[in-house]
Chains A and B, each alone.
Chain A
């Protein structure tokens, strides 16, 4: 008995000449390869009956001419039924929205402090979204950055982001999830962090933090507490972070866009601290150490 195929497209790709040398070699070593070669060779001699496309087109035109003479068009194609369908669809959608939306929990987008239904509080940083739903767990879904102070309860409080989840019973901690990077810093109590696609959980105690880096690796205790939590006091604080990350945070805080010179290297590491509530002050704080003088035009920051 021949071995079965692992790849369900192998023979197809062999016929079209798309196999890699290794695949081709393995295929040729199979005992049944000669049969496939024979089938391929012979089937290439198959032919379909003749077909005269031009004559057929002429025949079609003749048929069309007679059909056009005899056909009568309906005067009205019952448009009212069509509207009935649209109306039914709209009603269904509204009903679905009515029943489904409340279950999706409470939504928060506004920057600042919010009190959640379970008594916990959350402070959202700029351009961050959170939804919260109490069920078997206290389920919070976050994109962006937020600081949580969780009421102690037996029901676990779970923060889910695209990059991982954080599970706690009662504590305060910060979650940062932007782009391909996620950082969790525990301020009090204990939390457990699980990054998406990784089997190992990372337990954190007070003062500890863990980061998932864009390359998929995990770093422990990398960011200091001051850096992580300074935004709670109205500042953005960076220590040896790529300029691109610092700029991105600035753009989020002030809803501005940076125009950088083409040759500008924003992968360079820098340390910076700027305020989150005064644009002009923040621009000076950010750019003075870098020896740049930015111009503010509308919501664009032009750096030359």
Chain B
């Protein structure tokens, strides 16, 4: 996490000449920063504000309940605060997502797949459509919702993080701690599966 209080330190240009001692010196300075990284209140707050909405959505796609997802976000960040000395700021993202995922896992049976999504309104209003067309659109949406519920775990989150949260594949890969290629494969599979499921419904 590039926290507010620390940005200036990261702007120090890295040394052009590669004297080992200089490198060690700069590494030591970085480490110094990590030590109070997430434990620093302002760093923690900005981490929360930038990451919590994404984590909430991710957990929402997994457990199917917005309120429960918000509670799990709280749990995850409490754990981050307790472990702030052990988690490096740039690892905090993936760390939080893994903690959150484990919490959903513990919910076990109670975790459900979202069956109903909200839709942006502009889709309907921008097109001046006939009632039949609107009905058809509504049907198609319902079919797509059902198909998304039928997506395999893994593919579903990747698909929604991209479509709803607008995250790039590289960003998703970073959050889930997998390769970008793996994200792209899951995304591809999601689209193929959605089409197949959709054809069946």
Contacts and interface: CB of A to CB of B under 8 A. Distances in A.
A49 B73 CA distance: 15
Which of B49, B123, B188 neighbours the largest number of chain A CB atoms within 10 Å of its CB? B188
Interface string A15-48: 1100000000000000010011011101111111
A78 interface: no
Contact of B52 (A39, A57, A64): A57
Interface in A27-83: 32, 35-36, 38-40, 42-49, 51, 53-54, 56-57, 59-60, 63-64, 67
A13 B60 contact: no
A48 B164 contact: yes
A115 interface: no
B198 to A, nearest CB: 7
Interface in B90-118: 117-118
B163 A5 contact: no
B2 interface: no
B49 A54 contact: yes
A117 interface: no
B195 A32 contact: yes
Contacts of A9: 181, 184-185, 187-188
Q: What are the 8 closest A-B residue pairs judged by CB atoms, nearest first?
A: A12-B187, A9-B184, A12-B184, A45-B123, A49-B66, A47-B118, A11-B191, A43-B163
B168 interface: yes
Given A46-B119, A56-B74, 14 more contacts: A11-B188, A12-B169, A12-B183, A38-B140, A43-B159, A46-B160, A47-B118, A48-B164, A49-B66, A51-B66, A53-B48, A56-B70, A57-B45, A64-B78
11 contacts: A8-B185, A9-B181, A11-B187, A12-B185, A12-B188, A32-B195, A39-B191, A42-B144, A47-B120, A48-B165, A51-B52
A40 B159 CA distance: 10
Contacts of A63: 74, 78
B57 A48 contact: yes
Interface in B12-62: 45, 48-49, 52-53, 56-57, 60
Contact of B195 (A16, A36, A45): A36
A89 interface: no
A304 to B, nearest CB: 22
Given A57-B49, A60-B77, A46 B188 contact: no
Given A12-B169, A53-B48, A60-B48, A47 B119 contact: yes
Contacts of B144: 39, 42-43
Contact of B118 (A5, A44, A49): A49
A48 B60 contact: yes
B187 A53 contact: no
A10 interface: yes
B74 A59 contact: yes
Contacts of A53: 48-49, 52-53
Contacts of B159: 43
B55 to A, nearest CB: 10
Nearest to A67: B78
A38 B137 CA distance: 11
Contacts of A16: 168-169
Interface of A: 5, 8-13, 15-16, 32, 35-36, 38-40, 42-49, 51, 53-54, 56-57, 59-60, 63-64, 67
B86 interface: no
Contacts of A59: 74
A34 to B, nearest CB: 10
B133 interface: no
Contacts of A48: 56-57, 60, 66, 117-118, 160, 164-165
A5 B77 CA distance: 41
A148 to B, nearest CB: 40
B6 interface: no
A143 to B, nearest CB: 26
Contacts of B52: 51, 53, 56-57
Interface string B178-194: 00010111111101101
Given A57-B49, A60-B74, A67-B78, A11 B117 contact: no
B146 to A, nearest CB: 13
A43 B159 CA distance: 9
Contacts of A43: 144, 148, 159, 163
Contacts of A32: 195
A25 B191 CA distance: 18
Nearest to A43: B163
A103 B81 CA distance: 50
Contacts of B163: 43-44, 46
